């Protein structure tokens, strides 16, 4: 699969990642999408569908549901049923609906920081109280702090949003960790929303466990996911939730009906269906490529700037870099790196205690990654000389 190595020219195509940068000439390592084409089977299906020349209202057909069900079965070993699946235009949208439905203004919603910045925004903009259960660092690897989680639950948390696998720290949670989360959610009646959008981006040696494989029908759990990160389809706006619990499912469906959200568009449905039905080999090849990119970046940084602490990458294509040795704010780091030709994410947007951290997206061609690594190393050395 050569194109993982060659990449894809996306500059001047209106992509946020390339054309939304402060420095338009920088190489982008920020927004979580990838710089290679999606699976060729998906592109072909779009071309064939375009040639039909009609784009009216579309049914969500059995082929779509079959593809989703079979993906979960073969990739995660979970048996899900057609009526548990509810398509929606986005994972964050689905979380927002859950917050609106199952919590009230002022209620406590818990996240595990550092975590995807939209989790912070969706809670605070919904006027709920954000509660942080900080992850603990142990030897370059982040772990859950269960004692603190239980303390927070005791104080009356209504909902927990779990990021599994975790953006930005790259953890793929073990079954035991997820089981412990579930035990606590059951004990304190906390509704668990498991965002599993990165669940297919798993590095060799690691195994993704979907919360769905651990739950009973009466658990207060909703899984939200999409093929958008895995297959670079975020612009299609095609996600879905899976709700086993029949009461929660009915409440959620009624809530969506009243919200008049748009359904999934023709290409969103088709993209999801074809990616899942035909894209497995492509995903396996992509994960291998990401592992190569990660190891290249890690080795180079270890050798040239050993002060940088690099979180282990178990899943996702997002690398969490601790640059606190430079003693600069994340905003300062982002702005300096931008001038030096690289766009990265500001670590402090993932958690207020993470000043001096950045997030670096490695889902690109090897040559782009190598160029980015070179620019990053040169910029870090320059910063060190000019404290
Ligand atoms: C953990 C996580 N959830 C959700 C999203 C966004 O999903 P959507 O565009 O479907 O709202 C992202 C994007 O980076 C993400 O990392």
**Greatest C-alpha distance within the chain:** 61
pLDDT of residue 10: 84
Specify the ligand 1 atom closest to the Cα of 234: 9
> How far apart are the CA of 22 and the centre of ligand 1, in A?
22
pLDDT of residue 7: 66
Q: Which SS3 state, helix, strand or coil, does residue 87 take?
A: strand
> How far apart are the CA of 36 and the centre of ligand 1, in A?
19
CB atoms within 10 A of CB 331: 13
What CA–CA distance (Å, rounded) separates 377 from 186? 47
With tokens 């030709």, the residue in question is 341
Predicted confidence (pLDDT) per residue in 337-358, tens digit: 999 999 999 999 999 999 999 9
List b or e across 265-275, with b for residues whose CB sees 16 or more CB atoms inside 10 angstroms: bbbbbbbbbbb
pLDDT of residue 181: 98
> How far apart are the CA of 92 and the centre of ligand 1, in A?
6
pLDDT of residue 16: 93
**Cβ-Cβ contacts under 8 Å for 364 (sequence gap 6 or more):** 7, 29, 34, 35, 36, 293, 372
What CA–CA distance (Å, rounded) separates 325 from 231? 36
**Cβ-Cβ contacts under 8 Å for 181 (sequence gap 6 or more):** 144, 149, 160, 162, 192
> How far apart are the CA of 33 and the centre of ligand 1, in A?
10
> How far apart are the CA of 122 and the centre of ligand 1, in A?
12
pLDDT of residue 2: 62
CB atoms within 10 A of CB 55: 11
Specify the ligand 1 atom closest to the Cα of 90: 10
Query: Which residues, judged by CB distance below 6 Å to any ligand atom, belong to the binding site of ligand 1?
Result: 32, 90-93, 116, 163, 167, 195, 197, 226, 228, 234, 239
pLDDT of residue 136: 96
pLDDT of residue 3: 65
Predicted confidence (pLDDT) per residue in 62-89, tens digit: 999 999 999 999 999 999 999 999 999 9
Q: Which SS3 state, helix, strand or coil, does residue 291 take?
A: helix
Domains contained in the chain, CATH given: 3-40+280-385 (3.90.1150.10), 54-278 (3.40.640.10)
> How far apart are the CA of 386 and the centre of ligand 1, in A?
36
Predicted confidence (pLDDT) per residue in 111-138, tens digit: 999 999 999 999 999 999 999 999 999 9
Specify the ligand 1 atom closest to the Cα of 198: 1
Low-confidence residues in the chain, pLDDT < 70? 1-3, 5-7, 387
Report the Cα–Cα distance between both ends of the chain, in Å, rounded.
43
pLDDT of residue 386: 79
The two beta strands, 136-138 and 191-195, are unpaired
Which among 238, 158, 165, 161 has a CA at the least distance from the CA of 194? 161
Q: Which SS3 state, helix, strand or coil, does residue 227 take?
A: coil
Specify the ligand 1 atom closest to the Cα of 32: 14
What CA–CA distance (Å, rounded) separates 44 from 49? 9
Specify the ligand 1 atom closest to the Cα of 95: 11
Q: Whose CA is nearest to atom 14 of ligand 1?
A: 32
What CA–CA distance (Å, rounded) separates 386 from 219? 54
With tokens 């720290």, the residue in question is 169
Angle value at C-alpha 254, between 248 and 255, nearest 5 degrees: 85
> How far apart are the CA of 118 and the centre of ligand 1, in A?
8
What CA–CA distance (Å, rounded) separates 43 from 275? 10
pLDDT of residue 4: 74
Which pTM was predicted?
0.97
What CA–CA distance (Å, rounded) separates 251 from 241? 13
């Amino acid at each position: 699969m050569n194109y993982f190595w060659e990449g894809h020219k996306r500059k001047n195509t209106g992509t946020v990642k390339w054309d939304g940068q402060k420095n338009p000439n920088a190489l982008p390592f920020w927004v979580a999408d990838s710089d290679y084409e999606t699976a060729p089977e998906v592109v072909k299906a779009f071309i064939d569908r375009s040639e039909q020349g009609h784009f009216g209202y579309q049914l969500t057909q059995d082929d779509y549901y079959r593809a989703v069900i079979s993906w979960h079965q073969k990739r995660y070993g979970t048996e899900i049923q057609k009526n548990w699946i509810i398509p929606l235009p986005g994972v964050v949208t689905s979380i927002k609906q859950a917050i609106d439905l199952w919590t009230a203004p002022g209620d406590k919603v818990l996240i595990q920081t550092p975590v995807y910045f939209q989790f912070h925004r969706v809670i605070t903009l919904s006027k709920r109280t954000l509660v942080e259960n900080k992850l603990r660092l142990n030897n370059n690897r982040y772990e859950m702090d269960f004692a603190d989680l239980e303390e927070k639950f005791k104080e009356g948390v209504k909902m927990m949003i779990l990021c599994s696998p975790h953006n930005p720290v790259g953890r793929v949670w073990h079954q035991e960790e997820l089981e412990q989360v579930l035990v606590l959610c059951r004990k304190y009646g906390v509704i668990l929303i498991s965002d599993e959008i990165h669940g297919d981006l798993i590095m060799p040696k690691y195994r993704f466990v979907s919360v769905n494989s651990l739950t009973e029908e009466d658990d207060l759990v909703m899984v939200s996911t999409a093929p958008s990160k895995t297959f670079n389809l975020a612009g299609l706006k095609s996600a879905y939730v899976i709700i086993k619990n029949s009461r929660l499912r009915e409440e959620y469906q009624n809530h969506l009906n009243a919200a008049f959200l748009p359904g999934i568009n023709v290409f969103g449905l088709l993209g999801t269906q074809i990616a899942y039905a035909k894209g497995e080999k492509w995903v396996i090849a992509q994960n291998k490529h990401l592992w190569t990119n990660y190891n290249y970046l890690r080795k180079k940084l270890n050798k040239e700037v050993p002060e940088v602490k690099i979180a282990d990458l178990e899943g996702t294509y997002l690398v969490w870099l601790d640059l606190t040795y430079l003693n600069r704010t994340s905003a300062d780091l982002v702005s300096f790196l931008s001038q030096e030709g690289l766009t990265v994410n500001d670590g402090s947007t993932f958690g207020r205690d993470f000043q001096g951290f950045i997030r670096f997206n490695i889902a690109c061609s090897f040559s782009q990654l190598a160029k980015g690594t070179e620019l990053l190393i040169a910029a870090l050395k320059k910063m060190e000389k000019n404290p």
